[in-house]
Chain A
Amino acid sequence: MDGMLQGVVNWLDALSIHATIRDAGWVVPAVQSIHIACVALVFTGALIVALRGLELAGGHWSLARWSRYFHGSTVAALWVLLATGLVMIVAEPERELMNWIFRTKMLLVVVTLLIAGALGRRLRRPGGGQPVNGAVRLVALLVVLMWIGVATAGRWIAYAG
Chain B
Amino acid sequence: MIETLLDAVGESAVGTFIAENAIAFPWIEVAHVLSIVVVFGSILLVDLRLMGVAGRDYPPLALSRTILPITWVAFISAAITGALLFSSNPFGYFDNTAFRAKILLLVLAGANMLVFHLITMRGGRVNDGPGPLPMGARVAGLLSVSLWLGVIACGRWIGFTMAPF
Cβ-Cβ contact count across A and B, 8 Å cutoff = 84
In the assembled complex, B94 has its CB within 8 A of some CB on chain A: no
Contacts of A36 in B (CB 8 A): 33, 36-37, 152, 156
How many Å from the CB of A97 to the closest CB on chain B? 20
How many Å from the CB of A64 to the closest CB on chain B? 14
Contact, CB under 8 Å: B45 / A33: no
Task: Type the 1/0 row for A1-37, where 1 means its CB is closer than 8 Å to any CB of B.
Answer: 0000000000000000000000001001110110011
Contact, CB under 8 Å: A44 / B42: yes
Q: Tell me the nearest residue of chain A to B37, going by C-beta.
A: A40
Contacts of B149 in A (CB 8 A): 33, 37
Task: Type the 1/0 row for A71-114, where 1 means its CB is closer than 8 Å to any CB of B.
Answer: 00100000000000000000000000000000000000000000
Which residue of A44, A58, A155, A158 has the most chain B CB atoms within 10 A of its CB atom?
Answer: A44
**Chain B interface residue number, banded:** 20 to 34
In the assembled complex, A141 has its CB within 8 A of some CB on chain B: no
Contacts of B66 in A (CB 8 A): 57-60
- Which one of B29, B69, B70 lies within 8 Å of A155 (CB-CB)? B29
In the assembled complex, A136 has its CB within 8 A of some CB on chain B: no
- Which one of B33, B41, B62, B63 lies within 8 Å of A41 (CB-CB)? B41
Contact, CB under 8 Å: B160 / A29: yes
In the assembled complex, B119 has its CB within 8 A of some CB on chain A: no
Assuming the contacts A25-B160, A59-B66, A159-B26, asked whether A69 and B54 have C-beta atoms less than 8 A apart, the reply is yes
Assuming the contacts A25-B160, A44-B42, A57-B67, asked whether A155 and B26 have C-beta atoms less than 8 A apart, the reply is yes
Q: Tell me the nearest residue of chain B to A39, going by C-beta.
A: B37
How many Å from the CB of B48 to the closest CB on chain A? 9
Contact, CB under 8 Å: B55 / A69: yes
In the assembled complex, B58 has its CB within 8 A of some CB on chain A: yes
Contact, CB under 8 Å: B58 / A60: yes
In the assembled complex, A47 has its CB within 8 A of some CB on chain B: yes
Contacts of A61 in B (CB 8 A): 58
Contact, CB under 8 Å: B37 / A43: yes
- Which one of B45, B69, B160 lies within 8 Å of A48 (CB-CB)? B45
Contacts of B59 in A (CB 8 A): 60
Task: Type the 1/0 row for B21-59, where 1 means its CB is closer than 8 Å to any CB of A.
Answer: 000001001100110111011101100000000110011
Residues of chain A whose beta carbon lies under 8 Å from any beta carbon of chain B: 25, 28-30, 32-33, 36-37, 39-41, 43-45, 47-48, 51, 57-61, 69, 73, 148, 151-152, 155-156, 158-160
Interchain residue pairs A-B with the least CB separation, the first 10: A44-B41, A40-B41, A33-B153, A40-B40, A40-B37, A159-B26, A29-B156, A155-B30, A33-B156, A29-B160
